[in-house]
Amino acid sequence: MFASQRRDEIYKLAQDRQFISVAELSRMFQVSEVTIRSDLKLLEQQGKITKNYGGASIFREDVQPLSTTSRLLSDIKAAIAHEASALIEEGDSLFLDSSSTTILLADAIAKMSHVTVITNSIPIFDKLKEYRNGTVIGISGTLNPYTQSFVGPFAEEMVSKLRVSKAFIAPKGILPEGLRDNIVQEAAIRHKMIASADKVVVLADHSKFNNENVVFSISSFDKVQHVVTNQALTAPFNSLFQQKGIDIRVANLT
């Protein structure tokens, strides 16, 4: 990963979590703490973050939680989740990956009956902790504190031993070559989920397409049956998905 890409990802994490320690970032990107502090210094000079020297951490202050942009993005993800929920049928078994969109999808599933949800996401567990009309199965493994999910060899092995009717995957990037993620462990478990599912539903807002800053490959489009997004697709994805017979669903934001 190039230094500029790493700094972009650090900034995204700061937006999502608001507080991230230097030690955590060092482990995540597998670079020294000196390198991370250099990244933070540059991001601070750009006015994107504020460094907390006492805690050796970063704190995002540039965007208020209830900004227009934040509300719009939340509305888009909610609309995508609502559209995707129409693809779930009684008796389905599902993989839900660890993403903000699948967390919203869990809200819809909580109102359904006889659905089995298998996930590595702690926030989804929390959403479905009182789900009595279906079944929730947790994937165990190594905790990723950035995404609040379980990943790693144990989690991947468990997924490989299961079979579900549908996997709902929300990648961080979509290129003509396939789906991508910004964390290698998250890419790996998403790859296993796709391999162990009969059908794959991709959830992605418009910003995910042609996002070349995301470097870790998840999979090609070979097993993807549906793509749920918020805008009509443009070249090359519109023609590519048509050629592959992938159903494109555009969520209604009204």
Q: What is the pLDDT along the chain (254 residues), one digit of tens a residue?
A: 788 888 888 887 776 665 677 888 888 888 998 898 888 888 877 777 776 654 445 554 444 443 444 456 788 999 999 999 999 999 999 999 999 899 999 999 999 999 999 999 999 999 999 999 999 999 999 998 778 899 999 999 999 999 999 999 999 999 999 999 988 999 999 999 999 999 999 999 998 999 887 889 999 999 999 999 999 999 999 999 999 999 999 998 86
CB 31 within 8 A of CB 10: no
Residue (of 105, 92, 183) closest to 191 by Cα position: 183
CA torsion 155→220→228→191, rounded to 10°?
Answer: 0
Domain with CATH 1.10.10.10 in the chain: 3-59
Q: Which helix (H) or strand (E) holds 8?
A: helix 3-17
The CATH number of domain 68-250, selected from 3.40.50.1360, 3.40.50.300, 1.10.1660.10, 3.30.565.10: 3.40.50.1360
Q: So what's the pLDDT on residue 57?
A: 53
Give the C-alpha separation, 186 to 190, whole Å: 6
- Say which amino acid occupies 42: L
CB 218 within 8 A of CB 181: yes
Chain-centre distance of CA 215, in angstroms? Answer: 14
Q: So what's the pLDDT on residue 84?
A: 98
Its pTM stands at 0.76
CATH of domain 3-59: 1.10.10.10
Residue (of 82, 93, 107) closest to 199 by Cα position: 93
CB 123 within 8 A of CB 97: no
Cross-strand partners of 226: 201, 247
Domain with CATH 3.40.50.1360 in the chain: 68-250
Q: So what's the pLDDT on residue 37?
A: 86
**SS3 (DSSP) at 217:** strand
**Start-to-end CA span in the chain (Å):** 39
DSSP conformation class of 139? P
Query: What is the Cβ-side half-sphere exposure of residue 187, based on CA atoms within 13 angstroms?
Result: 17
CB 31 within 8 A of CB 41: no
Q: Which helix (H) or strand (E) holds 168?
A: strand 164-169
